[in-house]
Amino acid sequence: MPKKTKVKAQENKESPQRDDSDCDVTSTTTMGDITSLLEEHRASIAAECKSTFEPLASALESIKSTISDHGKHISPLETNVNTTDKRLHQVEATRTTLQKDNEALRSKLVDLDATGRRRNILLLSVPEKYGRTHPTEFFFQLLVDVFGAEVLSSPPELDHAHRSLAAPPGQGERLGPVIMCFHRFPNQILGDLQGSQA
């Protein structure tokens, strides 16, 4: 019997003892305390996030303002560019048309000038009293009478003849020329006249 009592006493000695302080902490922490603590953490995190993002928000607003200001300036420029582009296309089309017209007119002018020069002959030193009436017939007959068949291989085909538009010369002044326009290029007539002079 005494042996059994000794064993039980030893077992009681080795068994761990309960800490009453742990029981006190657990029993005093309520849901209200936990909720309050979480609210404090949430408020702290929100304040930190707000302080972090406020400079970013300010910078973003500045960027938005700058972009809006640039947009106000760029929009009229785009409108002006489009208007200028349309006008430039019109100018290019007009220039092309004018260039073609100019080239055609220059070609006609060159041809008219060359043709007119080759078809006209100036006859000098003819007194003003001759050829006043029917000058074409008069100067045609004058050519035939002066040069004749010996010089002219065929009668000249004279379209018209007239005196220059200058005022009639006074006494002792140089006589005005007579302009004779031939129907064909007078190369043969000029050749006949030069041959007669030789």
Q: Which residues contact 140 (CB under 8 A, 6 or more apart)?
A: 155, 156, 158, 161
Does residue 127 belong to any structural domain of this protein? Answer: yes
pLDDT tens-digit readout, 113-147? 666 666 777 778 888 777 778 888 888 888 888 87
Does residue 104 belong to any structural domain of this protein? Answer: no
- CATH assignment of the domain containing 127: 3.30.70
- Report the largest interatomic distance among the alpha carbons of the chain, rounded to a whole angstrom: 190
pLDDT tens-digit readout, 53-98? 888 888 888 888 888 888 888 888 888 888 998 999 999 999 999 9
Does residue 129 belong to any structural domain of this protein? Answer: yes
Q: Which backbone phi and psi does 166 adopt, to 5 degrees?
A: -70, 155
Does residue 39 belong to any structural domain of this protein? Answer: no
Can you tell me which residue has the tokens 């002018």?
A: 109
Counting the structural domains of the chain, the total is 1
pTM of the model: 0.34
Token pair listed for 101:
């017209």
